[in-house]
């Protein structure tokens, strides 16, 4: 009887060894050949933002501060300077966002840093944020952007005058197109800029301001569309090929 137990024990041990060997625990497989190394998967990382300029990172950081779409900040820069960080206007506005030197100095920026792209963009963004707060009574955010853009170009005071004139003459002071923009034009005429409602006098730069608002809006739509088309393209690519990772 004892021999039978010994044979049974040996049979159990032999079975366990065969099972372990066939499972690859000893570096082999059922056919007796060594296991092949699992190939390492190589991933390709794709940026999630379309490339518009060398300053895109600064635009995105600035947009996070003011709560705007980053392509809007890029559209302002493109309209102002064509992404030229060395640009200087006849009026003295400088840098990629065409900020006036007095504005930069008001933010404590030394003259040596006025043309620095990151600094120029951040100061411009602070100005945009200030204007956005001043126009918070324009409830529609998309409409408010028109007023912010107009003020960025012409100055807050002239736009405020135009809003007051629009209300006086029965127009909607919270709508830019065909309402407030018309009275910005009228501020070049004595019968309007001498009105006691106008506290900032005559304004003759209305052509540039109206053009600026239109151009920024047009460029913003173009950049936004480029971003959307790019996002759709890389999403489709990542969905069909798991080695592509959006980052």
DSSP 212-245: HHHHHHHHHHHHHHHHHHHHHHHHHHHHH-TTEE
- Predicted confidence (pLDDT) per residue in 53-108, tens digit: 999 999 999 999 999 999 999 999 999 999 999 999 999 999 999 999 999 999 99
**CA distances in angstroms from 199 to 7, 42, 165, listed in the order given:** 110, 65, 11
- Predicted confidence (pLDDT) per residue in 169-188, tens digit: 999 999 999 999 999 999 99
pTM of the model: 0.83
- Minimum mean pLDDT among 34-38, 60-64, 126-130, 198-202: which range? 34-38
Rg, Å, the chain Cα set: 33
Look up residue 56 and give its two tokens.
Answer: 């895109």
- In the predicted model, is pLDDT for residue 17 greater than 50? no
* First-to-final CA distance of the chain: 70
How many residues are given for the chain?
A: 247
pLDDT (0 to 100) of residue 37: 75
pLDDT (0 to 100) of residue 208: 97
Look up residue 62 and give its two tokens.
Answer: 């600035």
- Minimum mean pLDDT among 27-41, 131-145, 165-179, 187-201: which range? 27-41
DSSP 86-131: T-B-TT--BTTTTB-HHHHHHTT--GGGTT-HHHHHHHHHHHHHHH
- 36 carries an active-site annotation: no
Among 80, 143, 191, 208, the one annotated catalytic: 80
pLDDT (0 to 100) of residue 21: 46
Domain made up of 46-238: CATH architecture: Orthogonal Bundle (1.10)
Domain boundaries, the chain: 2-39, 46-238
pLDDT (0 to 100) of residue 11: 47
Provide mean pLDDT across the span 230-234. Answer: 95
Q: Taking phi first (over 0 means left), then psi (-120 to 50 degrees means alpha), and beta for anything else, what does residue 187 get?
A: alpha
């Amino acid at each position: 009887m004892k021999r039978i137990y010994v044979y049974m024990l040996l049979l159990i041990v032999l079975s366990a060894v065969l099972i372990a060997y066939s499972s690859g625990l000893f570096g082999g497989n059922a056919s007796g050949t060594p296991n092949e190394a699992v190939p390492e998967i190589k991933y390709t990382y794709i940026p999630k933002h379309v490339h518009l300029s060398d300053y895109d990172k600064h635009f995105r950081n600035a947009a996070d501060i003011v709560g705007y779409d980053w392509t809007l900040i890029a559209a302002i820069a493109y309209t102002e300077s064509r992404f030229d960080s060395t640009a200087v206007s006849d009026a003295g506005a400088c840098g990629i966002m065409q900020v006036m030197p007095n504005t930069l100095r008001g933010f404590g920026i030394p003259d040596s840093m006025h043309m620095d792209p990151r600094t120029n963009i951040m100061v411009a963004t602070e100005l945009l944020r200030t204007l956005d707060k001043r126009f918070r009574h324009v409830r529609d955010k998309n409409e408010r952007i028109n007023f912010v853009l107009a003020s960025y170009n012409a100055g807050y005071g002239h736009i405020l005058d135009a809003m007051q004139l629009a209300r006086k003459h029965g127009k909607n002071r919270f709508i830019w197109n065909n309402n407030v923009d018309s009275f910005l034009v009228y501020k070049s005429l004595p019968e309007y800029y001498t009105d006691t409602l106008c506290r900032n006098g005559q304004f003759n730069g209305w052509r540039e301001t109206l053009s600026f608002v239109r151009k920024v809006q047009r460029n913003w739509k173009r950049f936004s569309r480029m971003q959307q088309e790019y996002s759709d393209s890389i999403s489709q690519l990542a969905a069909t090929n798991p080695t592509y990772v959006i980052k």
